[in-house]
Structure formats: C-alpha cells, structure tokens
Amino acid sequence: MPIQTTDANLNPIDNAQDYDFCEVNGEENPGIIAPDGVTGFKRDTEWETKKGKGTKGGTATLVQLPPSKGSIKFLLWTAAHFEAWDQTFRKQFKYDPTKKTKNAVDIFHPILAKQSVHSVVTESIGPETPEGQGLWSITIDLLEYLPPPKKTVTGTPGGSGGKGGPKANGTGKADDPIADAQQKEIAKLLEEAKRP
C-alpha cells in the first residue's frame, strides 16, 4: 500500500499501515518493515562542560549535533518481493564509487520524519536471513546525511531563570569568563573587518 502522506505527525495507532513502508528516492519498499524494524535514529546533542574552579556549577557549550544513525529491518515472503528487492530497491542503498555526486538518498518513514532524518547513506546491507515459516528479513544500517552548516552551531545557553540558576545573579547571563572573553574577541574582530 503506498504511503498516503509525507506528514511527520502520523501516529502509529491511526496510521499503522504507514509504518509498514518507507519511501527511498520516491520508491516504496517491497514486503513490509518489521513491527520493531526501525531502530536507533536517536537525535544526540553533544555538550562540552566547563567547570568553575573552587566553586560549584559550570557552563555547558553546545559543540556538536552529530548525524543520527540506525537500522531498518525489512520483511519479505513472496517471490515478487525478492524480485522487486533485487531489481530495484536494493540498488537505492548501494554505494557507487564511480559516481562523482553524493550517494545519499532521500527517505521517508514516519519515525524518521519525526526525528528530522530526511536523507541517508548506507553503512551496511545485511544478507537475507530466514525468520521462519517462509518469512525472510534484510536489515540495512543507515547514517543520516547531514553535512555541517556553514555557520557554527556552538553556543552556551543562558540560565533558565529559575531560583539558583545563572540568571539569579540579576545580570541575566551565566558567569563564564571564557565565554565573555571569546565574545569580546569576536566583537573586536568584527569591528576590524568593517574598517576599510
């Protein structure tokens, strides 16, 4: 059954059939995706912690929003499924080193859409594995294609404004001499760049 929408808000109760399929470069998978077949794809955030010397607390600076990675397990049980898999669908995931363009593919599945994963590259394609009673599975490990933006994503968040947080000092800023020095240096460089 074709996917009816590309809406990331599909819930698995009212739209269970949409969770059985994914689209890769607009092509739907043969067979179905196993009920627990989409695993991983966590959206991690990496922070660097700077601790205060001789005091409690510290600041957290966002240093990385790494690509998500996970697996999709497909289930096949008819000759037509295997034929479609081998003739067209597997090719969507194969890496072609002779191509000079990117080998990422566009993908849609409700779980991936909710995690903002829209493009992937293949880490590995597993073999056909018997699951019993004529059912076979193929698992593909994927890595999100997420090139870094031109602008850095690093930054130190301000406090929450709650009692005892960094904003409790009345300045509205966290006390971070390193971040303050960096901001002053950035401002100085920007001013120098404006001069003829």
Query: pLDDT, tens digit, for every residue of 56-109?
Result: 788 888 888 889 999 999 999 999 999 999 999 998 888 777 776 667 899 999
Q: b/e for 170-193, b at 16 or more Cβ within 10 A?
A: eeeebebeebeeeeeeeeeeeeee
Higher pLDDT, 172 or 104: 104
Residue 96 has which token pair?
A: 């072609």
Whether domain 16-157 has CATH 3.50.50.60: the reply is no
3-state DSSP assignment of residue 193: helix
The listed range with the strongest mean pLDDT (52-56, 90-94, 118-122) is: 118-122
| pLDDT for the residue numbered 196 | 63
Residue 74, CA atoms < 13 Å, CB-side half-sphere: 25
- Say what percent of the chain tops pLDDT 90: 43
| pLDDT for the residue numbered 160 | 62
Name the band, by pLDDT with cuts 50, 70 and 90, for residue 182.
Answer: low
| pLDDT for the residue numbered 147 | 82
Name the band, by pLDDT with cuts 50, 70 and 90, for residue 50.
Answer: confident
| pLDDT for the residue numbered 153 | 56
Residues near 68 by beta carbon (within 8 Å), at least 6 away in sequence = 40, 41, 42, 43, 44, 115, 117, 143, 144, 146
The listed range with the strongest mean pLDDT (44-58, 126-140, 154-168) is: 126-140
Residue 133 has pLDDT above 80, yes or no: yes
* Phi and psi angles of residue 13, each rounded to the nearest 5 degrees, phi first: -85, -55
The listed range with the strongest mean pLDDT (131-135, 152-156, 191-195) is: 131-135
Q: b/e for 53-70, b at 16 or more Cβ within 10 A?
A: eeeeeebebeeeeebbbb
Residue 92, CA atoms < 13 Å, CB-side half-sphere: 20
Domain boundaries, the chain: 16-157, 165-196
Segment 177-192 mean pLDDT: 70
Q: Which of 128, 135, 146, 6 is nearest to 64 (CA)?
A: 146
